[in-house]
Amino acid sequence: MPKPLEPTLDALPNPFLRYFAATRPAFLSVTFVGCLLGLATAAHSGITLGPALATVTLFFALMAHAGANVINDYYDALSGCDEVNTERQFPFTGGSRFIQNGVLSLRATGIFGYALLAAVVPAGLWLTAVSAAGLILIGLAGLVVGWAYSAPPLKLQSRGLGEFAITAGWLLVVVGSDFVQRHGFAFAPVAAGLGFALLVANVLYINQFPDVKADGAAGKNTVVVRLGVARARWGYVLIAALAYGWPLLMVLAGHLPVMAVIAMLPALASIAAARQLWANAGQPAELTPALKLTILSASVHGLLLAIVLATPLGRML
């Protein structure tokens, strides 16, 4: 199967479509799933969902993720890691290639990314006004994590802390979506969301393997750069084990319904991805199937768990 073509200015003459594509919309699906999971935990708690609140929450969560994607491209271009990345597995690793291929300038990308993040602020204030004050903390934490993942001075990914940032960021998506409906904090979205957030972190983790040489050359010291590809393979297994172990523990502790074990099925995809990573960690061109399986496992786990919680399945047994 031929690889997807990288973006070019000729292929994106429409400015609206050009900027929309720069957000990497296909990868926003994990935020969509995270919002659904947060809404499902609220519904499972007996809360009647407000469609308008849910829609606004979803739209601006997607916008925040889009802004973080664009900001990541901007700072990776500044560091030079995307420019020298010859082993990227587009569209999964090596950035969107919009700056490197002349589709958007570096300046335009930076302005666009920060504009997207700024646009989330008034929506967050409105949601806070109709929900509860604690939402300010969730929203602020989410924006800081999305910015600090790539941006100096924190540059969390370059310090080997990217996986913690991603886990926190997508757990906040679930908690925030639940909070807007519940008008308060609860443990339910944490019980449902932490495993999902860890699986999203594993997506970013495995993406570091094809990029390891370019990241190392640019001083972007991710976990994979620090450990080397052979030892770093264990990190993928550890994150996956924690991701599936958490919901199982929550079922045993009574915080999730028994039928939530259905959401363990994507572990099969994670195991298959781990086997491929184990065999091909140092061969970027062979890792694309593992990258796809890792995205699949996160998305399907979140969807299955949301279905269980939002339907009569969650009340069985």
Q: For 111-122, what is the mean pLDDT? A: 97
pLDDT per position as a tens digit, 60-96: 999 999 999 999 999 999 999 999 999 999 999 999 9
Give the pLDDT band (50/70/90) at residue 313.
confident
In this predicted structure, the answer to whether residue 240 has a pLDDT above a threshold of 90 is yes
pLDDT for residue 115: 98
pLDDT for residue 2: 61
Q: 3-state SS of the chain?
A: CCCCCCCCCCCCCCHHHHHHHHCCHHHHHHHHHHHHHHHHHHHHCCCCCCHHHHHHHHHHHHHHHHHHHHHHHHHHHHHCCCCCCCCCCCCCCCCCCCCCCCCCCHHHHHHHHHHHHHHHHHHHHHHHHHCCCCHHHHHHHHHHHHHHCCCCCCCCHHHCCHHHHHHHHHHHHHHHHHHHHHCCCCCHHHHHHHHHHHHHHHHHHHCCCCCHHHHHHCCCCCHHHHHCHHHHHHHHHHHHHHHHHHHHHHHHCCCCCHHHHHHHCCHHHHHHHHHHHHHHCCCHHHCHHHHHHHHHHHHHHHHHHHHHHHCHHHHCC
| CB crowding 27-55: b at 16 or more within 10 Å, else e | bbbbbbbbbbbbbbbbbbeeeeebeebbe
In this predicted structure, the answer to whether residue 141 has a pLDDT above a threshold of 70 is yes
What global pTM score does this model have?
0.96
Q: For 201-215, what is the mean pLDDT? A: 97
In this predicted structure, the answer to whether residue 279 has a pLDDT above a threshold of 60 is yes
Q: For 148-170, what is the mean pLDDT? A: 96
Write down the domain spans for the chain: 15-315
The tokens for 42 are 């609220």
Q: For 137-164, what is the mean pLDDT? A: 95
The tokens for 222 are 């991710």
Give the pLDDT band (50/70/90) at residue 286.
very high
In this predicted structure, the answer to whether residue 1 has a pLDDT above a threshold of 60 is no
pLDDT for residue 275: 98
pLDDT for residue 315: 82
pLDDT for residue 4: 81
**Calpha distance 86→101 (Å, rounded):** 13
| % of residues, the chain, pLDDT over 90 | 97
**Calpha distance 155→220 (Å, rounded):** 9
pLDDT for residue 317: 59
- Please give the CATH number for the structural domain made up of 15-315: 1.10.600
